[in-house]
């Protein structure tokens, strides 16, 4: 797993970049692009409440120069088990301490990153791409187990055992360039790379005009990030 920058040898190579339309994945796309990858952006219509993020993803993929953008349908809401797909209430107004106390909140979607990475892997293998980027972050995050480095490294190992390419000398690399950054580091990095954060949507449940609720964990972490980075927060809150 790479968490740093790529060397020049990897220029002009292809990468699949998971893109939710949020702050982290948009920054990740900008990083992949800045390292010279031709980026195949992949978003999921997985039954999430927040469908506006898919429109954001589309605009961001275009703005950041992705080679192509696919929205893949996979209805995880069929299984339930998450506030993000309609089961129960989204936690709001939690303190920073509560958010980062290591517990897993109701917004956790069962096995989401395992599913998303596996579909990214299927696309990468079909494309002949050996690089997959994912914007997971294990510092200013909600405690999801599938956002940790240990998980990403294990997925990479599994991918290289379970694919033609991985077992025949062209191993996959899963890049998680944000995993050890704070939210403010991420915002500073993305701002330098020209990410327009007004296009990104972090909120778990924005209103119909796309305005963020300002109270869910994602909004609270985002607000904190801009504050600590000393950069004006361009988010439209209700």
Positions in the binding site for a second copy (CB under 8 A): 70, 72-76, 78-81, 104, 108-115, 117-119, 121-123, 125-127, 145-146, 148, 150-151, 154-155, 157-159, 161-164, 166-168
State the nearest-atom distance from the C-beta of 68 to a second copy, in Å.
12
Whole-angstrom distance, CA of residue 79 vs CA of residue 101: 27
Q: Give 109 or 199: the residue with its C-beta nearer to a second copy.
A: 109
- CA distance readout (Å), 155 to 87, 93, 111, 227: 27, 33, 12, 34
Specify whether the CB–CB gap between 94 and 217 falls below 8 A: yes
State the nearest-atom distance from the C-beta of 92 to a second copy, in Å.
20
Whole-angstrom distance, CA of residue 46 vs CA of residue 27: 22
State the nearest-atom distance from the C-beta of 39 to a second copy, in Å.
16
Q: Give 14 or 191: the residue with its C-beta nearer to a second copy.
A: 14
Q: Give 156 or 185: the residue with its C-beta nearer to a second copy.
A: 156
State the nearest-atom distance from the C-beta of 5 to a second copy, in Å.
25
- CA distance readout (Å), 4 to 133, 155, 177, 180, 192: 12, 18, 6, 10, 16
State the nearest-atom distance from the C-beta of 130 to a second copy, in Å.
13
Q: Give 60 or 117: the residue with its C-beta nearer to a second copy.
A: 117
CA angle 100, 118, 180 (to 5 degrees): 30
Q: Give 20 or 184: the residue with its C-beta nearer to a second copy.
A: 20
Number of other residues whose CB lies within 10 A of the CB of residue 191: 16
Specify whether the CB–CB gap between 28 and 134 falls below 8 A: yes
Whole-angstrom distance, CA of residue 121 vs CA of residue 141: 24
């Amino acid at each position: 797993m790479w968490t740093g920058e790529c060397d020049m040898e990897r220029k002009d190579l292809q990468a699949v970049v998971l893109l939710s339309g949020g702050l982290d994945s948009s920054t990740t796309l900008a990083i992949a692009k800045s390292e010279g990858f031709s980026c195949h952006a992949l978003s999921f219509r997985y039954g999430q409440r927040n469908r506006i993020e898919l429109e954001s993803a589309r605009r961001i993929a275009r703005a950041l120069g992705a080679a192509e953008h696919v929205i893949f349908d996979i209805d995880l809401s069929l299984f339930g088990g998450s506030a993000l797909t309609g089961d129960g209430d989204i936690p709001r107004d939690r303190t920073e301490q509560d958010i980062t106390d290591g517990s897993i909140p109701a917004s956790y979607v069962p096995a989401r990153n395992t599913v998303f990475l596996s579909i990214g892997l299927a696309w990468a293998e079909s494309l002949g791409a050996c690089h997959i980027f994912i914007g997971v972050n294990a510092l200013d995050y909600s405690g999801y187990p599938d956002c940790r480095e240990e998980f990403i490294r294990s997925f990479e190992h599994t991918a290289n055992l379970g694919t033609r390419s991985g077992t025949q000398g062209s191993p996959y690399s899963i890049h998680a360039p944000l995993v050890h950054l704070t939210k403010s580091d991420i915002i500073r990095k993305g701002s330098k790379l020209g990410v327009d954060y007004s296009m990104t949507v972090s909120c778990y449940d924005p209103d119909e005009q796309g305005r963020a609720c300002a109270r869910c964990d994602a909004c609270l972490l985002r607000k904190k990030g801009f504050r600590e980075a000393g950069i004006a927060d361009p988010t439209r809150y209700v």
